[in-house]
C-alpha cells in the first residue's frame, strides 16, 4: 500500500463525507459504490443520514474490485473474491515480513 493510500484511508476513517467524496477517494462512481455496498461486497462502510464513513481497507478493496471488473470484465462477486484473496495475500506477506525482521 502506498503512502497516499494510507494517508487518505486514515483521514477518511475519521471523517463523515458525502457519497460522491467517498467514491472519489475510491476512484469509482458513486452509483458503483452504492450498488456494491448494498450487495454486501464492501464491508467497513456506514451511512448515517446520507453521510458516509469508510475504512481505509475498504478504499483499497473498492479500487481493486473496480480494476478487476474493468480489466477482466468480471462480475462484482468474482471481483470481491479476488479482492478477498489479495487481502489475504497482503496479510500473509505482512506476517512473513514481521517474522523475518524479528
Distance CA(63)–CA(58), nearest Å, equals 8
Element housing 45 (H / E): strand 45-48
Contact of 82 with 64, CB cutoff 8 Å: yes
Along the 102 residues of the chain, how does pLDDT read in single tens digits? 444 444 454 555 678 999 999 999 999 999 999 999 999 999 999 999 999 999 988 999 999 999 999 999 999 999 999 999 999 999 999 999 999 987
Q: Is the dihedral of CA 82, 87, 91, 96 positive or negative?
A: positive
Q: Which of 76, 82, 78, 83 is nearest to 33 (CA)?
A: 76
Q: What's the whole-model pTM score?
A: 0.82
Amino acid at each position: 500500500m502506498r503512502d497516499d493510500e494510507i494517508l487518505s484511508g486514515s483521514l477518511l476513517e475519521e471523517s463523515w463525507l458525502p457519497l460522491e467524496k467517498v467514491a472519489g477517494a475510491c476512484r469509482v462512481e458513486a452509483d458503483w459504490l452504492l450498488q456494491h455496498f448494498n450487495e454486501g461486497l464492501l464491508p467497513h462502510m456506514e451511512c448515517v443520514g446520507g453521510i458516509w464513513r469508510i475504512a481505509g481497507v475498504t478504499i483499497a478493496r473498492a479500487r481493486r474490485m473496480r480494476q478487476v471488473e474493468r480489466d477482466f470484465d468480471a462480475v462484482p462477486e468474482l471481483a470481491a473474491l479476488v479482492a478477498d484473496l489479495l487481502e489475504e495475500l497482503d496479510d500473509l506477506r505482512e506476517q512473513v515480513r514481521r517474522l523475518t525482521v524479528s
